[in-house]
Structure 1
Amino acid sequence: MHTAIRAAVFGLSAGALAQQIGTLTKETHPPLSLTHCTASGCTKEQHSVVLDANWRWVHSTSGSNNCYSGQTWDTTLCPDGATCAKNCAVDGADYSGTYGVTSDGDTLSVTLKTGSNVGSRLYMLGVKGQNYELFDLLNQEFTFDVDVSTLPCGVNGALYFSEMPRDGGLSATNKAGAPYGTGYCDSQCPKDIKFINGKANSDGWVPSSGDKNSGAGPMGACCNEMDIWEANKISTAVTPHPCTKNGLAVCTDDTTCGAAGICDRAGCDFNAYRLGNTSFYGPGKTVDTSSKFTVVTQFITDDGTAAGNLKEIRRLYVQNGKVIGQPKSDITGISGDSITEDFCKAQKSVFGDTNTFDTHGGLKTMGAAFKRGMTLVLSIWDDYTAEMEWLDGVAYPTTADTSKPGVARGTCATGNGAPATVESNSGSATVKYGNIKVGPFGTTYKSS
């Protein structure tokens, strides 16, 4: 379950997704390499990443007046959604100083709290930096190194794919586009996105009851999402989230935005701890999260080609030269060590969850999204909605009977992931993503 990430207040304004281009801060995209592998070797390309526009300073096109501050829209600049898009400009970003984002070209470091800013979300751009890099991972594996050693309960270092528009939704009402991080969507149909499809989400905006910097509008931004990696040092999950519509789809009510709406918000997750193996992942465990390791995710098709239908998602780890397979489920009635349709059906049945994964098209729909092209997202965030207990909590829901299968997600006590606590005690928590590779099975990693 990947919940919407909130924007944070910093400098002169709260983050907002604006449509025009501001010129008060220079935009320089941090470099991040992408390596393509074949059986004969690997070739590195120099790409870059761009900060989501939801975190950026947004101001009037004629000056520096904020379009949105705290939880409030400026009613003069933004009397309605269409006018707001014309009046507001999204500016460049100070990646390291304001957002705690640094890169050496191969590894991206992302810190939870820098000054008053909390969290960030970034997208990989193509080599020319004008559009998002699109990935089709069918009959391929996707590999990266990660360091989650400083991520405590309640923090999520998430690397995933989203079926965002390649150009960021560039249009007559969105001049900024991908170079300024516009066009975000995911399977949670987030309603805290302040501009969607070139229109402000301001009409009927409701301030958040828990987050002083956020709120929700009447529109949500929905699309297929493949959560390769949602993790801290306690727990991790890999989760496909299919949707019934292609690309960015706007939802406008509780039904289409909700659990039975356009997207499968729950997904079909593989969390080893939730599946009964409590000794596999964590500090000092089989995959030792006190140091860096490599994550390999393979997307297997029914005919062994990129043209086939996605039938299985398999996970491997490599640490200290040792290849470590995902453990098999230890829950009675659920078998397997990878995500398949049979695994998902069994998991939903045993855990007593509604199988929205199946009704939204399952793995076949997820694979079709990759064929159209998915954007790589790299982020860090804390959770004002559920305090990340769906990922790492001793019980989720918190009132559920912990003796029942699927309830325990990790070792984090209830309340440990409260954002106020996390931001106060662990603001310097940093996730590092690097050595990103794509290629045929077995070409992107080595064992000793």
Structure 2
Amino acid sequence: MPPWQPTGMFARRSIVPALAGLVAAQQPGTIVQEVHPKLNLYECTNRRGCEKQELEVVMDASWRWVHGPEYKNCFDEDGWNKKFCPDGLACAQTCEMEGLGLGDYEKTYGVKTKDNYDTLELDFMTKGGNVGSRVYMMDSPTEYKMFKLLNREFTMEVSVEQLRCGMNGAVYFIEMDRAGGIGKGANLAGAKYGTGYCDAQCPHSKWIEGEANVPEATAPKNATVGKTGICCAEMDIWEANRESAAYTPHPCNIEGPVKCEGTPCGDGPERFDGLCDKDGCDFNSYRMGHRSFYGHGLEYVVDSSRPVQVVTQFHTKDGTDKSELVRIERFYVQDGRVIDNSHSMIAGVSGNSITDDFCSKQKSAFYDPNDFEDNGGMKQMGLALERGMVLALSLWDDGALHMRWLDSVHLGPNKTEETIGVHRGPCEYGEGDPEKVRSKYSDASVRFSKIKVGEIGSTFRGARR
């Protein structure tokens, strides 16, 4: 998944001036008490069935209001407030990040739970101007839930019928720190306030390990963040809108999260020289040649105009929890029937699941560097799954690439529209421009329901289709 920063403006309570930007900070504020929305998780076994766990979600720190003395913004559209933030550590020691009440979650950010806390609904935009959101599942009020998915399956019901070209309702796992990096640098907020984000894109986040990522003196005038990135392994379970969908492992040759600068971040022309596989090994049915498998309408095998259950299985070499990851399988359940994932229709590439062999042949067929293999492939991805990863659920648009890598024509170096593999979905080039998406579909939302994790075969039921 490409780097992504929140955007938008919103107004706080009357004692606070309107905000000009959304940022994260590392000290908890004192104005608003943090209250996490509840969200259920079902943990399943083949013998006992599924048992409900009453958990919570927390908003990522990057969406929160951060202020210095007298409630003045530490960050706005012009970047860091130089008075409060002459350097990263001073900024973290001066600025405070406020909590969110349930009303803030719903009205300001469009994050709400329904159906007795079985469903999470994320609005694309709110009346205050906020765009998108990202939340993490909590195990306690101060720690993230750590999922260990080797020899397990993860299942959820998704409703993406309102998500048009250029939008992404994403569900993924990242190797964040359980406590959100609390205690690192000046981070006194921790997971309770959604700190510690990392992913395989090594994002240059506003705050990293307890310090503000302030641009260096030699940075371009329009730079809003510094040269430091933060990397960790990422397993994209579901990146989708109504037109296209993909699931993608992104291994890293580290145990994350790990800070980076320069080449290890893999920025720009050094994309394939960094700590992580930024491209990943994706299975996108449209890209793999089956263009009538997933889409909006009854003519598709999987109809995105209606809710669908998405099942992802992580198979090991010998079927135990401690063995090596060898295969990631995908199923769908719709109208009570189990639908096998589509098979590749690309010459020289066979199968309907992700394996080292599939990835190697796909990269060769599409003329892509095999950075997946270079970063350890399935084995390295499996090690991250064994150590434990945090569940992120989000809705966003893409200012950098307009989501072309998911649902349109995604051109790379030395590639044209005739190059095999560049067509990722049916959306027209430019249709995913955030300016267009926000003006046309501001009332869109996505729903994730009945989230389950457990033994292989324990989280879904249905007849084969």
Paired with 1:312 and 1:71, the residues of 2 have a C-alpha distance of: 46
**Which residue, out of 250, 253, 256, partners 2:259?**
250
Moved more, 362-371 or 178-187: 362-371
Q: Secondary structure at the match of 1:113?
A: coil
Alignment of 1:40-439 (within 5 A): 40-60=48-68, 62-93=69-100, 94-104=104-114, 105-114=117-126, 115-126=128-139, 128-171=140-183, 173-191=186-204, 193-204=205-216, 215-258=224-267, 259=271, 260-284=273-297, 285-397=300-412, 400-439=415-454
**Distance in 2 (alpha carbons) for counterparts of 1:290 and 1:203:** 44
CA 1:233/1:398 → structure 2, altered by over 3 Å: closer, same or farther?
Answer: farther
Distance 1:71 1:286, change over 3 A: farther
Question: 1:429, CA displacement in angstroms?
Answer: 1.2
Give the Cα separation in 2 of the matches to 1:125 and 1:219. Answer: 27
Residues 181-218 of structure 1 show CA distances to partners (whole Å, capped at 9, x for unaligned) of 00000000111x11101111013286897xxxx84321
Distance 2:220 2:40 in 1: 39
Aligned counterparts of 2:2 and 2:458: Cα–Cα separation in 1: 29
Aligned-residue CA RMSD in angstroms?
1.7
Q: Distance in 2 between matches of 1:286 and 1:208?
A: 50
Structure 1 equivalent of residue 9 of structure 2: 9
User: What's the counterpart of residue 14 of structure 2?
Assistant: none
CA distance in 2, matches of 1:204, 1:425: 38
CA contact (8 A) 2:215 2:225 kept: no
The answer to whether the 8 A contact 2:214-2:224 is kept is: no
CA contact (8 A) 2:176 2:196 kept: yes
**Conserved? CA contact 1:77–1:83, under 8 Å:** yes
Counterparts in 2 of 1:245 and 1:208: CA distance versus 1, 3 Å: farther
3-state secondary structure, aligned to 2:71? coil
Q: Which amino acid aligns with 2:56?
A: S
Q: Distance in 2 between matches of 1:387 and 1:235?
A: 14
SS at match of 2:143: coil
27, 35, 50: which one aligns with 2:34: 27
TM-score normalized with structure 2 length: 0.92
The letter of the residue matching 2:108 is: T
Contact 1:15 1:53 in 2 (8 A): no
Identity %: 48
Q: Count how many residue pairs are aligned between Structure 1 and Structure 2.
A: 441
Q: Residue 132 of structure 1 aligns to which amino acid in structure 2?
A: Y
- Measured in 2, the distance between the counterparts of 1:67 and 1:130 equals 25
Whole-angstrom CA distance in 2 between matches of 1:86 and 1:68? 14
In 2, distance between residues paired with 1:71 and 1:317? 45
Task: Give 5+ residue unaligned stretches, structure 1.
Answer: none
Distance 2:169 2:420 in 1: 26
Kindly indicate whether the alpha-carbon contact (under 8 Å) linking 1:398 and 1:414 is maintained by their aligned counterparts in 2.
no
Moved more, 63-72 or 432-441: 63-72
Cα-to-partner distance string for 1:109-147 (whole Å, 9 max, x where unaligned): 001111211111100000x22100000010000000100
**CA distance in 1 between partners of 2:176 and 2:31 (Å):** 27
Contact 1:390–1:397 (CA under 8 A) maintained in structure 2: no
Greater CA deviation, 407-416 or 396-405?
Answer: 396-405
